[in-house]
Structure 1
Amino acid sequence: MILFFEGTSKNLIAAGTSDKLPKKDIEKLIWLFGEATLITSEKIGGIFIGPRKEMVTPWSTNAVEITQNMGINGIKRIEEFHVSGLKKPHFDPMLQSLYTGLDQTIFTIDKLPDPVIYIDNINEYNQKEGLALNNEEIAYLDKLSKSIGRKLTDSEVFGFSQVNSEHCRHKIFNGTFILSGKEKEATLFQMIKATTK
Protein backbone atom coordinates (compact mmCIF):
# COMPACT_ATOMS: atom_id res chain seq x y z
CA MET A 1 0.00 0.00 0.00
CA ILE A 2 1.25 3.48 -0.83
CA LEU A 3 0.13 6.55 1.09
CA PHE A 4 0.45 9.96 -0.56
CA PHE A 5 1.13 13.21 1.28
CA GLU A 6 1.19 16.72 -0.16
CA GLY A 7 3.93 18.87 1.30
CA THR A 8 3.74 22.59 1.90
CA SER A 9 5.84 23.22 -1.24
CA LYS A 10 3.31 21.17 -3.29
CA ASN A 11 5.72 18.26 -3.57
CA LEU A 12 4.25 14.81 -3.06
CA ILE A 13 5.66 12.23 -0.71
CA ALA A 14 4.85 8.58 -1.31
CA ALA A 15 5.23 6.18 1.62
CA GLY A 16 5.16 2.50 0.74
CA THR A 17 3.92 0.31 3.58
CA SER A 18 3.64 -3.42 4.10
CA ASP A 19 0.25 -3.07 5.85
CA LYS A 20 -2.37 -0.45 6.66
CA LEU A 21 -0.99 1.97 9.23
CA PRO A 22 -2.84 2.93 12.41
CA LYS A 23 -4.03 6.54 12.71
CA LYS A 24 -1.33 7.41 15.27
CA ASP A 25 1.41 6.38 12.81
CA ILE A 26 -0.17 8.41 10.00
CA GLU A 27 -0.21 11.43 12.35
CA LYS A 28 3.51 10.87 13.01
CA LEU A 29 4.17 10.82 9.26
CA ILE A 30 2.21 14.04 8.78
CA TRP A 31 4.40 15.66 11.44
CA LEU A 32 7.60 14.16 9.96
CA PHE A 33 6.74 15.49 6.50
CA GLY A 34 6.38 19.05 7.82
CA GLU A 35 2.63 19.03 8.47
CA ALA A 36 1.93 17.55 5.04
CA THR A 37 -1.63 16.71 4.08
CA LEU A 38 -2.64 13.07 3.70
CA ILE A 39 -4.24 12.50 0.31
CA THR A 40 -7.03 9.95 0.60
CA SER A 41 -6.97 9.00 -3.08
CA GLU A 42 -4.95 5.97 -4.21
CA LYS A 43 -4.28 7.63 -7.57
CA ILE A 44 -3.16 11.20 -8.33
CA GLY A 45 -3.31 12.88 -11.73
CA GLY A 46 -0.64 15.17 -13.10
CA ILE A 47 2.92 15.13 -14.38
CA PHE A 48 5.60 14.38 -11.81
CA ILE A 49 9.35 13.95 -11.67
CA GLY A 50 10.55 11.41 -9.17
CA PRO A 51 13.18 8.77 -8.56
CA ARG A 52 13.35 5.77 -10.82
CA LYS A 53 11.32 2.96 -9.30
CA GLU A 54 14.30 0.60 -9.63
CA MET A 55 16.50 2.81 -7.47
CA VAL A 56 15.82 3.41 -3.79
CA THR A 57 17.28 6.84 -3.06
CA PRO A 58 19.58 7.60 -0.10
CA TRP A 59 16.88 10.05 1.01
CA SER A 60 14.41 7.15 1.19
CA THR A 61 16.84 5.00 3.16
CA ASN A 62 17.30 7.79 5.72
CA ALA A 63 13.57 8.59 5.87
CA VAL A 64 12.64 4.94 6.46
CA GLU A 65 15.25 4.69 9.22
CA ILE A 66 13.82 7.81 10.86
CA THR A 67 10.32 6.28 10.82
CA GLN A 68 11.71 3.14 12.47
CA ASN A 69 13.32 5.28 15.17
CA MET A 70 9.93 6.96 15.68
CA GLY A 71 8.34 3.57 16.33
CA ILE A 72 6.49 3.34 13.02
CA ASN A 73 6.61 -0.22 11.73
CA GLY A 74 6.02 -1.43 8.19
CA ILE A 75 7.40 1.47 6.14
CA LYS A 76 9.32 0.00 3.21
CA ARG A 77 10.12 3.05 1.10
CA ILE A 78 9.54 6.80 1.08
CA GLU A 79 10.18 8.92 -1.99
CA GLU A 80 9.54 12.51 -3.00
CA PHE A 81 7.89 13.52 -6.29
CA HIS A 82 7.84 17.02 -7.74
CA VAL A 83 4.95 18.41 -9.73
CA SER A 84 5.95 19.57 -13.20
CA GLY A 85 3.97 22.16 -15.10
CA LEU A 86 5.87 21.35 -18.31
CA LYS A 87 4.88 18.68 -20.82
CA LYS A 88 8.55 17.91 -21.51
CA PRO A 89 10.40 18.81 -18.31
CA HIS A 90 14.14 18.45 -17.88
CA PHE A 91 15.31 15.71 -15.52
CA ASP A 92 18.22 13.31 -15.11
CA PRO A 93 17.13 9.99 -16.68
CA MET A 94 19.90 8.15 -14.85
CA LEU A 95 18.29 9.01 -11.51
CA GLN A 96 14.76 10.14 -12.25
CA SER A 97 11.67 9.23 -14.24
CA LEU A 98 8.76 11.19 -15.60
CA TYR A 99 5.44 9.99 -14.20
CA THR A 100 2.05 10.70 -15.73
CA GLY A 101 0.05 10.26 -12.57
CA LEU A 102 1.01 8.45 -9.39
CA ASP A 103 -0.68 5.25 -8.24
CA GLN A 104 -0.14 2.11 -6.20
CA THR A 105 2.37 0.71 -8.74
CA ILE A 106 5.02 3.45 -8.60
CA PHE A 107 7.39 1.21 -6.60
CA THR A 108 6.52 -2.04 -8.42
CA ILE A 109 9.42 -3.45 -10.41
CA ASP A 110 8.34 -6.10 -12.87
CA LYS A 111 11.49 -6.30 -14.99
CA LEU A 112 13.23 -9.65 -14.81
CA PRO A 113 17.02 -9.70 -14.52
CA ASP A 114 18.88 -10.05 -17.80
CA PRO A 115 20.35 -13.51 -18.39
CA VAL A 116 23.97 -14.12 -17.43
CA ILE A 117 26.23 -13.96 -20.48
CA TYR A 118 29.41 -16.04 -20.49
CA ILE A 119 32.21 -14.48 -22.51
CA ASP A 120 33.85 -16.77 -25.08
CA ASN A 121 36.48 -14.30 -26.28
CA ILE A 122 37.43 -11.53 -23.86
CA ASN A 123 39.42 -9.59 -26.47
CA GLU A 124 36.46 -9.48 -28.89
CA TYR A 125 34.07 -8.60 -26.05
CA ASN A 126 36.42 -5.81 -24.98
CA GLN A 127 36.34 -4.32 -28.49
CA LYS A 128 32.57 -4.77 -28.90
CA GLU A 129 31.71 -3.11 -25.57
CA GLY A 130 34.46 -0.46 -25.62
CA LEU A 131 35.86 -1.51 -22.25
CA ALA A 132 39.37 -0.19 -23.00
CA LEU A 133 41.11 -3.20 -21.46
CA ASN A 134 44.77 -3.39 -22.45
CA ASN A 135 46.54 -6.58 -23.60
CA GLU A 136 47.96 -7.25 -20.13
CA GLU A 137 44.50 -7.03 -18.54
CA ILE A 138 42.97 -9.28 -21.21
CA ALA A 139 45.74 -11.84 -20.66
CA TYR A 140 45.10 -11.66 -16.90
CA LEU A 141 41.37 -12.29 -17.40
CA ASP A 142 42.04 -15.17 -19.80
CA LYS A 143 44.39 -16.73 -17.23
CA LEU A 144 41.83 -16.18 -14.46
CA SER A 145 39.12 -17.85 -16.54
CA LYS A 146 41.34 -20.90 -17.05
CA SER A 147 42.35 -21.07 -13.38
CA ILE A 148 38.74 -21.07 -12.11
CA GLY A 149 37.68 -23.52 -14.80
CA ARG A 150 34.89 -21.50 -16.39
CA LYS A 151 34.22 -18.57 -18.68
CA LEU A 152 33.89 -15.16 -17.07
CA THR A 153 30.52 -13.42 -17.13
CA ASP A 154 29.72 -10.08 -18.72
CA SER A 155 29.21 -8.64 -15.25
CA GLU A 156 32.62 -9.82 -14.07
CA VAL A 157 34.42 -8.42 -17.11
CA PHE A 158 32.55 -5.10 -16.86
CA GLY A 159 33.32 -4.92 -13.13
CA PHE A 160 37.02 -5.57 -13.74
CA SER A 161 37.04 -2.91 -16.46
CA GLN A 162 35.37 -0.40 -14.14
CA VAL A 163 37.72 -1.00 -11.22
CA ASN A 164 40.76 -0.71 -13.46
CA SER A 165 39.52 2.24 -15.51
CA GLU A 166 41.38 5.52 -15.58
CA HIS A 167 38.54 7.50 -13.98
CA CYS A 168 38.42 5.08 -11.04
CA ARG A 169 42.15 5.71 -10.41
CA HIS A 170 42.66 2.86 -7.94
CA LYS A 171 45.21 1.21 -10.19
CA ILE A 172 47.17 4.42 -10.69
CA PHE A 173 46.90 5.74 -7.13
CA ASN A 174 47.94 2.37 -5.66
CA GLY A 175 50.53 1.74 -8.36
CA THR A 176 54.29 1.81 -8.05
CA PHE A 177 55.92 4.80 -9.74
CA ILE A 178 59.39 4.54 -11.22
CA LEU A 179 60.78 7.93 -12.21
CA SER A 180 64.19 8.23 -13.89
CA GLY A 181 64.84 4.57 -13.07
CA LYS A 182 64.21 5.07 -9.34
CA GLU A 183 61.18 3.56 -7.58
CA LYS A 184 59.25 6.02 -5.42
CA GLU A 185 58.92 5.08 -1.75
CA ALA A 186 55.16 5.64 -1.49
CA THR A 187 52.10 5.29 -3.71
CA LEU A 188 49.93 8.32 -4.39
CA PHE A 189 47.30 6.98 -1.96
CA GLN A 190 49.95 6.59 0.75
CA MET A 191 51.13 10.15 0.16
CA ILE A 192 47.56 11.47 0.39
CA LYS A 193 46.85 9.48 3.57
CA ALA A 194 50.10 10.79 5.10
CA THR A 195 48.63 14.31 5.15
CA THR A 196 46.13 13.23 7.83
CA LYS A 197 48.63 11.54 10.15
Structure 2
Amino acid sequence: MRKFVVMALLVVSANSFAQKMKVSKGDIKNLKDISAYTLEFDYSNLEIPKYDSEDDFLADKMAKREEKEAGKGEEFKKSWFADRQDRYEPKFIESFNKRFDDGEVSVSMEDAAYTMKIHTNKIYAGYNVGVVRKNAEIDATVTVYETANPSNVLLEGKYSDVQGYGAMGNDYNSGYRISECYAKLAKNMAGYIIKKALK
Protein backbone atom coordinates (compact mmCIF):
# COMPACT_ATOMS: atom_id res chain seq x y z
CA MET A 1 0.00 0.00 0.00
CA ARG A 2 2.80 2.37 0.89
CA LYS A 3 4.53 1.71 -2.44
CA PHE A 4 1.28 2.50 -4.28
CA VAL A 5 0.90 5.81 -2.42
CA VAL A 6 4.49 6.79 -3.23
CA MET A 7 3.99 5.91 -6.91
CA ALA A 8 0.74 7.91 -7.02
CA LEU A 9 2.46 10.94 -5.54
CA LEU A 10 5.23 10.64 -8.11
CA VAL A 11 2.66 10.59 -10.92
CA VAL A 12 0.89 13.67 -9.55
CA SER A 13 4.12 15.62 -9.07
CA ALA A 14 5.42 14.67 -12.51
CA ASN A 15 2.18 15.63 -14.22
CA SER A 16 1.70 18.84 -12.29
CA PHE A 17 5.14 20.15 -13.19
CA ALA A 18 4.38 21.91 -16.47
CA GLN A 19 7.39 22.60 -18.60
CA LYS A 20 7.64 26.08 -20.08
CA MET A 21 9.38 27.01 -23.28
CA LYS A 22 12.37 29.30 -22.92
CA VAL A 23 11.84 31.48 -25.99
CA SER A 24 14.98 32.61 -27.81
CA LYS A 25 13.49 33.99 -31.02
CA GLY A 26 10.13 35.22 -32.30
CA ASP A 27 6.85 35.19 -30.40
CA ILE A 28 4.10 32.64 -29.75
CA LYS A 29 1.57 35.20 -31.03
CA ASN A 30 3.05 34.70 -34.52
CA LEU A 31 1.37 31.28 -34.57
CA LYS A 32 -2.13 32.70 -34.14
CA ASP A 33 -3.46 32.01 -37.65
CA ILE A 34 -1.58 28.78 -38.42
CA SER A 35 -3.74 25.65 -38.60
CA ALA A 36 -1.29 23.06 -39.92
CA TYR A 37 2.40 22.30 -39.50
CA THR A 38 4.80 19.98 -41.25
CA LEU A 39 6.84 18.19 -38.62
CA GLU A 40 10.59 17.79 -38.92
CA PHE A 41 12.58 15.80 -36.37
CA ASP A 42 16.32 16.33 -35.88
CA TYR A 43 18.50 14.16 -33.63
CA SER A 44 21.90 15.58 -34.61
CA ASN A 45 24.53 16.35 -31.96
CA LEU A 46 22.52 14.36 -29.43
CA GLU A 47 23.72 14.52 -25.84
CA ILE A 48 23.48 11.39 -23.68
CA PRO A 49 24.15 12.12 -19.99
CA LYS A 50 27.30 10.43 -18.62
CA TYR A 51 28.65 9.76 -22.13
CA ASP A 52 30.90 11.80 -24.39
CA SER A 53 28.72 11.10 -27.42
CA GLU A 54 25.85 9.02 -28.75
CA ASP A 55 28.41 6.68 -30.32
CA ASP A 56 30.05 6.09 -26.93
CA PHE A 57 26.63 5.39 -25.41
CA LEU A 58 25.78 2.86 -28.10
CA ALA A 59 29.17 1.16 -27.88
CA ASP A 60 28.79 0.72 -24.12
CA LYS A 61 25.21 -0.55 -24.23
CA MET A 62 25.91 -2.88 -27.15
CA ALA A 63 28.99 -4.38 -25.47
CA LYS A 64 27.08 -5.11 -22.26
CA ARG A 65 24.30 -6.84 -24.18
CA GLU A 66 26.71 -8.84 -26.33
CA GLU A 67 28.36 -10.20 -23.18
CA LYS A 68 25.04 -11.68 -22.13
CA GLU A 69 23.87 -12.93 -25.52
CA ALA A 70 25.40 -12.71 -29.00
CA GLY A 71 23.41 -10.48 -31.34
CA LYS A 72 21.65 -8.51 -28.61
CA GLY A 73 24.00 -5.56 -29.01
CA GLU A 74 23.16 -5.04 -32.66
CA GLU A 75 19.49 -5.58 -31.83
CA PHE A 76 19.66 -2.75 -29.28
CA LYS A 77 21.33 -0.39 -31.77
CA LYS A 78 18.72 -1.14 -34.41
CA SER A 79 15.84 -0.49 -32.01
CA TRP A 80 17.51 2.68 -30.66
CA PHE A 81 17.25 4.30 -34.09
CA ALA A 82 14.00 2.61 -35.19
CA ASP A 83 12.20 3.91 -32.10
CA ARG A 84 12.45 7.44 -33.45
CA GLN A 85 10.17 6.77 -36.40
CA ASP A 86 8.22 3.93 -34.80
CA ARG A 87 7.60 5.40 -31.34
CA TYR A 88 8.73 8.97 -30.62
CA GLU A 89 7.41 10.74 -33.70
CA PRO A 90 3.98 9.04 -33.84
CA LYS A 91 3.59 9.66 -30.10
CA PHE A 92 4.31 13.38 -30.56
CA ILE A 93 1.78 13.62 -33.41
CA GLU A 94 -0.93 11.75 -31.50
CA SER A 95 -0.43 13.72 -28.29
CA PHE A 96 -0.36 17.11 -30.03
CA ASN A 97 -3.36 16.58 -32.29
CA LYS A 98 -5.65 15.22 -29.60
CA ARG A 99 -5.41 18.54 -27.72
CA PHE A 100 -7.48 20.15 -30.49
CA ASP A 101 -10.98 18.65 -30.42
CA ASP A 102 -12.08 20.19 -33.70
CA GLY A 103 -8.76 19.79 -35.49
CA GLU A 104 -8.29 23.56 -35.58
CA VAL A 105 -4.51 23.02 -35.34
CA SER A 106 -2.65 19.89 -36.39
CA VAL A 107 0.82 18.53 -37.02
CA SER A 108 1.80 15.80 -39.48
CA MET A 109 4.57 14.67 -41.79
CA GLU A 110 2.60 16.09 -44.75
CA ASP A 111 3.57 19.27 -46.56
CA ALA A 112 2.27 22.48 -45.03
CA ALA A 113 3.05 26.20 -45.34
CA TYR A 114 4.75 26.18 -41.93
CA THR A 115 7.18 23.73 -40.38
CA MET A 116 7.59 22.80 -36.72
CA LYS A 117 11.07 21.40 -36.21
CA ILE A 118 11.78 19.32 -33.11
CA HIS A 119 15.51 19.18 -32.50
CA THR A 120 16.21 16.73 -29.69
CA ASN A 121 19.27 17.99 -27.82
CA LYS A 122 19.37 15.40 -25.05
CA ILE A 123 17.93 11.97 -24.31
CA TYR A 124 18.18 10.25 -20.95
CA ALA A 125 16.56 6.83 -21.19
CA GLY A 126 15.82 6.42 -17.49
CA TYR A 127 15.45 2.91 -16.10
CA ASN A 128 13.05 0.49 -14.49
CA VAL A 129 14.39 -2.53 -12.63
CA GLY A 130 11.19 -3.33 -10.80
CA VAL A 131 11.94 -2.13 -7.30
CA VAL A 132 13.30 1.20 -8.48
CA ARG A 133 12.76 3.32 -11.60
CA LYS A 134 13.62 6.73 -13.00
CA ASN A 135 11.73 8.67 -15.65
CA ALA A 136 13.18 9.16 -19.09
CA GLU A 137 13.97 12.77 -19.95
CA ILE A 138 14.60 14.90 -23.02
CA ASP A 139 15.68 18.43 -23.92
CA ALA A 140 14.39 19.79 -27.23
CA THR A 141 14.52 22.98 -29.25
CA VAL A 142 11.30 23.73 -31.11
CA THR A 143 11.55 26.01 -34.14
CA VAL A 144 8.57 27.17 -36.21
CA TYR A 145 9.33 28.67 -39.60
CA GLU A 146 7.89 29.30 -43.03
CA THR A 147 8.51 26.12 -45.02
CA ALA A 148 9.36 27.95 -48.24
CA ASN A 149 11.57 30.42 -46.39
CA PRO A 150 13.30 28.73 -43.40
CA SER A 151 15.06 31.96 -42.44
CA ASN A 152 11.65 33.39 -41.53
CA VAL A 153 11.52 32.01 -37.97
CA LEU A 154 8.24 32.73 -36.21
CA LEU A 155 9.17 31.11 -32.91
CA GLU A 156 12.11 29.28 -31.42
CA GLY A 157 12.60 28.07 -27.89
CA LYS A 158 13.82 25.25 -25.72
CA TYR A 159 12.13 22.81 -23.40
CA SER A 160 14.43 21.28 -20.78
CA ASP A 161 14.11 18.13 -18.68
CA VAL A 162 10.79 17.01 -20.16
CA GLN A 163 9.96 13.77 -18.36
CA GLY A 164 7.86 10.91 -19.61
CA TYR A 165 5.76 8.73 -17.38
CA GLY A 166 3.32 6.01 -18.35
CA ALA A 167 1.92 2.54 -17.75
CA MET A 168 1.66 3.22 -14.00
CA GLY A 169 5.30 2.34 -13.53
CA ASN A 170 5.27 -0.77 -15.73
CA ASP A 171 7.45 0.93 -18.35
CA TYR A 172 10.33 -1.52 -18.60
CA ASN A 173 11.12 -0.72 -22.24
CA SER A 174 13.39 2.31 -22.73
CA GLY A 175 11.79 3.14 -26.08
CA TYR A 176 8.40 3.33 -24.42
CA ARG A 177 9.72 5.53 -21.60
CA ILE A 178 11.36 7.92 -24.04
CA SER A 179 8.25 8.03 -26.25
CA GLU A 180 6.30 9.32 -23.25
CA CYS A 181 8.69 12.30 -23.12
CA TYR A 182 7.64 13.19 -26.66
CA ALA A 183 3.99 12.87 -25.66
CA LYS A 184 4.63 15.31 -22.81
CA LEU A 185 6.60 17.66 -25.07
CA ALA A 186 3.71 17.71 -27.56
CA LYS A 187 1.22 18.32 -24.76
CA ASN A 188 3.28 21.26 -23.51
CA MET A 189 3.69 22.76 -26.98
CA ALA A 190 0.00 22.38 -27.84
CA GLY A 191 -0.97 23.88 -24.49
CA TYR A 192 1.31 26.84 -25.11
CA ILE A 193 -0.34 27.48 -28.47
CA ILE A 194 -3.84 27.16 -27.00
CA LYS A 195 -3.16 29.48 -24.07
CA LYS A 196 -1.00 32.12 -25.74
CA ALA A 197 -1.57 32.06 -29.51
CA LEU A 198 -5.24 31.22 -29.93
CA LYS A 199 -6.65 33.46 -27.20
Shared fold (TM-score, shorter chain, > 0.5): no
Between Structure 1 and Structure 2, the one with more helix by share is 2
Q: Which band: TM-score by shorter chain?
A: under 0.3
TM superposition score normalised by structure 1: 0.20
Larger radius of gyration: 1
Bigger relative contact order (CA 8 A; separation at least 6): 2
TM superposition score normalised by structure 2: 0.20
